[in-house]
Amino acid sequence: MAKESGLGMTVSVDDSAGSAQAIGNDITSCSWTMPSGVQDVTGINSSAMERLLLLADLTFTFTGVFNDAASMSHAVFKNYRTLPGTELGRTTTLVHSGQTLADTILYTDFSFNRGQDGSLVWTAPGAMSDGTVPAWS
């Protein structure tokens, strides 16, 4: 097994029409978590903790540079929410070193920050929406 950097990662996210768009060129940083709930089941007769794993989850947070070209990040995320109750999960795929993590993600925000230096960056956080246990393939 070889250790690797995070270089060469690709990210695609479905736009509001359901078409995957490769937006990795706009993303400057990303983070994801794959936590599971934990239930404490320790009996009073135990001297150490006992736990059960519960439901799995997956969240993403992408940060990037503003780009309103067709099929790029602004076009993908600008309609993350149209009317209340009509939000749709977006297939989100992260690929690195032949490993793929893909699931349906419900994006909850698309926020911007204009820095004092003139930079314009965005952040798009999202969470799993379809009940599929996340897994690398």
CATH number at residue 89: 2.30.110
Query: Does residue 79 belong to any structural domain of this protein?
Result: yes
Query: Does residue 69 belong to any structural domain of this protein?
Result: yes
Amino acid letter at 74?
A: H
Query: Does residue 41 belong to any structural domain of this protein?
Result: yes
Please state the domain count of the chain. 1
Find the helix or strand (DSSP H, E) in which 53 lies. strand 51-56
Find the helix or strand (DSSP H, E) in which 76 lies. helix 73-77
Q: Please tell me the predicted confidence (pLDDT) of residue 82.
A: 60
Query: Does residue 89 belong to any structural domain of this protein?
Result: yes
Domain interval for residue 63: 10-128
Query: Does residue 137 belong to any structural domain of this protein?
Result: no
5 confidence band (pLDDT: 50, 70, 90): very high
Rounded to the nearest angstrom, the gap between the alpha carbon of residue 80 and the centroid of all alpha carbons in its chain is: 13
Query: Does residue 1 belong to any structural domain of this protein?
Result: no
Q: Please tell me the predicted confidence (pLDDT) of residue 39.
A: 97
Query: Does residue 3 belong to any structural domain of this protein?
Result: no
Q: Name the nearest CA neighbour of 80 among 2, 133, 14, 12.
A: 14
pLDDT tens digits, residue range 9-68?
A: 999 999 888 899 999 999 999 999 999 999 999 999 999 999 999 999 999 999 999 999
Q: Name the nearest CA neighbour of 122 among 9, 21, 23, 15.
A: 23
Q: Please tell me the predicted confidence (pLDDT) of residue 80.
A: 77
113 within 8 A of 120, measured Cβ to Cβ: yes
54 within 8 A of 37, measured Cβ to Cβ: yes
pLDDT tens digits, residue range 107-128?
A: 999 999 999 999 999 999 999 9
Cα angle: 98, vertex 103, 107; to 5 degrees: 125
Q: Name the nearest CA neighbour of 15 among 134, 110, 120.
A: 110
Distance from C-alpha of 54 to C-alpha of 39, rounded to nearest angstrom: 7
Q: Please tell me the predicted confidence (pLDDT) of residue 79.
A: 83
- Per-residue pLDDT averaged across 102-107, rounded? 94
Query: Does residue 20 belong to any structural domain of this protein?
Result: yes
What sign has the CA pseudo-torsion 126, 28, 69, 101?
negative
Whether the pLDDT of residue 135 is over 60: the answer is yes
